[in-house]
Structure 1
Amino acid sequence: MSGFPISYAQRIKTLPPYLFKAIDDMKQAAVARGVDIINLGIGDPDLPTPEPIIKAMQEAVTKPQHHQYPSSSGMLSFRTAVADWYKRRFNVTADPKTEVVTLIGSKEGIGHVPLAFIDPGDVVLVPSPGYPVYPVATSFAGGTMHEMALTKQNKFLPDLGAIPKDILKKAKLMFLNSPNNPTSVIADKPFFNRVVDFAKEHHIIICHDAAYSEIYYDGKRPSSFLEAEGAMDVGVEFHSLSKTFNMTGWRIGFAVGRAEVIAGLAQIKSNMDSGQFQAIQEAGITALESDDQLTDGLRAIYQERRDVLVAGLKNLGLQFETPAAAFYVWIEVPKGYTSASFTAHLLEKAGIVTTPGNGFGAPGEGYIRMTITTTKDRLAEAVDRMKKIGW
């Protein structure tokens, strides 16, 4: 093409390839070769959004008042529904006016929050392996990431005592995630209590990603970080309707917590977006007010799928912990493979898409992640294909 050369900003040049796009490229190449793909790579629910939520959206979209610009912080009625849900679910009290903000999906809020608090030279503590948006958001804000390695030896929880003192002097924000993606580990209340004490001692804002809190098994409900005493003084919790109600494409979530942190995030949002479509917020109210009426059935389906995949993989001799929550099985790769080579082996020989653990950060090397967001029959077929190809 003619014209002047285009130079990308340094923040773009330093970005790693977005993990899930790279996986999709591999999948599309296999499809082009005629391979029947079983996609266990991305945790996108395959079940439909529950009918009452769809009906609420259909009704709300006809209301003219929803066709104008919304508030970037969200409708007070939606934020009130969030606060009411937090009280019922976690016994956490939040002021919907000052301690809740509506998000265009939790990813948007996670991506924006460092812009409100991180300056060049500030350190953000990031769990690794972890959601790729944590380090990317840190980089975009000009901050420096310090990796908190999640290891099998430490039960895949951050080792707060291992963070160097010189890092702590510069640390301003910490991302946490429970139930965890990709390991599926649930942090308990004693751990959250330690985090609160740690945050108060070192003046660190805690940003807890709780997107998977309602996808749990065997009746063992995960705790909210905000249930810990003093948690509302040190940070916020991000949540999403995407996984809970199979609403990934709807893009609606929220953050709850300390008013000053919520205000900082809201100020960034007011300058960066125009808020979420109010009809979607109306549907979100219906979802939140349903409590477990809609989610019990979804959890039962996911638990059946988990049990099929877990039993099959254990019969194959693979090593992993049975997930207690989320959509993921975090599997140690067999001897002789790396994360990338085992992922490639499964795709090329069996038509199974998985995610290499090192794509979530260097401490994820030696693992792959499989999802359960497909039918029991396809999960059983995946196990059968793996048995046939061997290692």
Structure 2
Amino acid sequence: MSDSFDSDHPNIDAPAIGSPTTDPVPHPFEVKFASRVDRLPPYMFGRINNSLYQKRCAGDDVIDLGMGNPSDPPDPSVIQKLADAAADEGNHGYSKSNGIRNLRREVAKKYQRKYGVELDSESEIISCLGSKEGFSHMCLALMGPGDTAIIPSPYFPVHMYGVILASGNVVALDVADPDKFLSNVAYTCENMTPVPKILIVNYPHNPSSAVIEPDFFVEVVRLAKKYGLMVIHDFAYADVAFDGYLPPSFLSAPGAKDVGVEFTTMSKGYNMAGWRVGFCAGNAEMVRGLGTIKGYYDYGMFAAIQIAAIVALRDTEENVLAQSKIYQGRRDVLVSGLRRLGWNVNPPKAGMFVWAEVPEPWKSQMSTMDFAMKLLEEGNVAVSPGSGFGAAGEGYLRMSLVENEHRLRQAVRQIGKCLASSKPSNPELAVGS
């Protein structure tokens, strides 16, 4: 018989009491995402992107008007500067997350030159890995559980989900009528407790291409001060405008730096989308908050890219104006072509997209997603369904201007043939099914 158990002097050489003789029944390993990820809906464009990929793998020539991905290159001098800077061994270490000094100074010069806005390049400007990264991290710096942001509707996805990933809540207001939008902002602040913390605006607007005049931002500043709103203006399409229209900067409104910031990017007018060069400018405390978050997340962008970006800002403004004219020509080709097909579409004053209403009888008889899939599968033209930008986008398509004029004419011909060759198969099909 074994000795009795003595808790004060255990026998460490003894086998464990009740040692199992068999391994436990295995269970599949489960990955549990954070609640912020569980709040995200299925990716709206996944179905289209998968079909586009499959068709291209099969050798189909699909004209892609879905994504606003510039197809033109930057100015050769910018590319050469990148190559020269990359050849310098001193440029391959970590960079400061807020951007090198001379790049921030060049941004300040552009704001002064183009908008008459004075900015302190040390405290009121920070570089970002594209404006989308900066916007998302700004949401992390400013928002938390229980905080609410007012956003435009239909919405560019990051305006909605950047807030959600920061554990915030969203109130989406229609941007079609700027005066009504501002009235709804005031109404929301008067009737919601607690008052929303942030107002997000985006003009020229993506996806609808809605634009505003400078007095709009004067009223935004007034509302922000009245209700204690912090303002974030996504100015991604600052450099792409048509017919003499000049998109106004939020920071040009008196008192704007007291209440908010503005995000800009070199992706569009400078054709540097893949370079991921963006900026946040304005309220020094909000800029500091973004810098705090970025200091924990990244070491800044490759120094050679920043050096080349300086050259682009300093020497290629004429190219930016020329690029707008290229987009304007593409806009005219696409809008006139769709109108010949009987579509109701207005030419945008700015941006890289045409926001086109789905024509009848298709609009009444199938969802926007199904219509977009029809154009892709039967017409080899990819577009973005408006429903991917929220419920307010249902009934519309976003069509980008990244293809050349010849390809856009071909896209219109293919759309025309696709729609002429068939009618909706089920006239009883409800919208949104």
Q: CA RMSD in A?
A: 1.9
| 2:95 equivalent among 52, 56, 70 | 70
Identity across aligned pairs (percent)? 38
Map residues 332-371 of structure 1 onto 2, 5 A cutoff: 332-335=357-360, 336=364, 337-371=366-400
| Contact 2:75–2:316, Cα closer than 8 Å, also in 1 | no
Name the stretch that deviates more: 304-313 or 59-68: 59-68
AA in 2 matched with 1:331: A
Map residues 46-65 of structure 1 onto 2, 5 A cutoff: 46-65=71-90
Per the alignment, residue 6 of structure 1 pairs with 31
| 1:383 equivalent among 409, 412, 419 | 412
**Offset of residue 219 of structure 1:** 2.4
- Is 2:160 the counterpart of 1:135? yes
| 2:109 equivalent among 55, 67, 84 | 84
Map residues 98-137 of structure 1 onto 2, 5 A cutoff: 98-137=123-162
The CA distance in 1 between the partners of 2:384 and 2:313, in whole Å, is 31
| 2:42 equivalent among 14, 17, 28 | 17
What stretches of structure 1 of length at least 5 have no aligned partner? none
- Is 2:259 the counterpart of 1:234? yes
Per the alignment, residue 284 of structure 2 pairs with 259
- Write out per-residue CA displacement over residues 283-322 of structure 1, whole angstroms, 9 at most, x where no aligned residue: 1111111252221221221111111001101111211221
| Contact 1:124–1:144, Cα closer than 8 Å, also in 2 | yes
**Offset of residue 33 of structure 1:** 5.0
The CA distance in 2 between the partners of 1:20 and 1:254, in whole Å, is 27
Cα separation, partners in 2 of 1:20 and 1:319, compared to 1, 3 Å:
same
| 2:327 equivalent among 302, 313, 319 | 302
Map residues 190-209 of structure 1 onto 2, 5 A cutoff: 190-209=215-234
Per the alignment, residue 144 of structure 1 pairs with 169
AA in 1 matched with 2:102: S
Cα separation, partners in 2 of 1:286 and 1:157, compared to 1, 3 Å:
farther
Name the stretch that deviates more: 292-301 or 129-138: 292-301
In our comparison, the structure showing a higher alpha carbon Rg is: 2
- Pairs aligned (count): 390
| 2:56 equivalent among 15, 27, 31 | 31
Cα separation, partners in 2 of 1:357 and 1:157, compared to 1, 3 Å:
farther
| Contact 2:189–2:227, Cα closer than 8 Å, also in 1 | no
The CA distance in 1 between the partners of 2:203 and 2:42, in whole Å, is 25
| Contact 2:48–2:373, Cα closer than 8 Å, also in 1 | no
- Write out per-residue CA displacement over residues 192-235 of structure 1, whole angstroms, 9 at most, x where no aligned residue: 11111011111111110111110111222211111111111110
**Offset of residue 168 of structure 1:** 6.4
| Contact 1:117–1:264, Cα closer than 8 Å, also in 2 | yes
**Offset of residue 373 of structure 1:** 0.3
**Offset of residue 3 of structure 1:** 6.3
AA in 1 matched with 2:377: E
Cα separation, partners in 2 of 1:132 and 1:21, compared to 1, 3 Å:
same
- Write out per-residue CA displacement over residues 255-286 of structure 1, whole angstroms, 9 at most, x where no aligned residue: 00010000000000001111111111101111
**Offset of residue 154 of structure 1:** 5.7
The CA distance in 2 between the partners of 1:175 and 1:268, in whole Å, is 19
The CA distance in 1 between the partners of 2:86 and 2:193, in whole Å, is 48
- Write out per-residue CA displacement over residues 56-76 of structure 1, whole angstroms, 9 at most, x where no aligned residue: 111111223321111111111
| Contact 2:178–2:212, Cα closer than 8 Å, also in 1 | no
Cα separation, partners in 2 of 1:307 and 1:351, compared to 1, 3 Å:
same
TM-score for the superposition, normalised by structure 2: 0.86
TM-score for the superposition, normalised by structure 1: 0.95
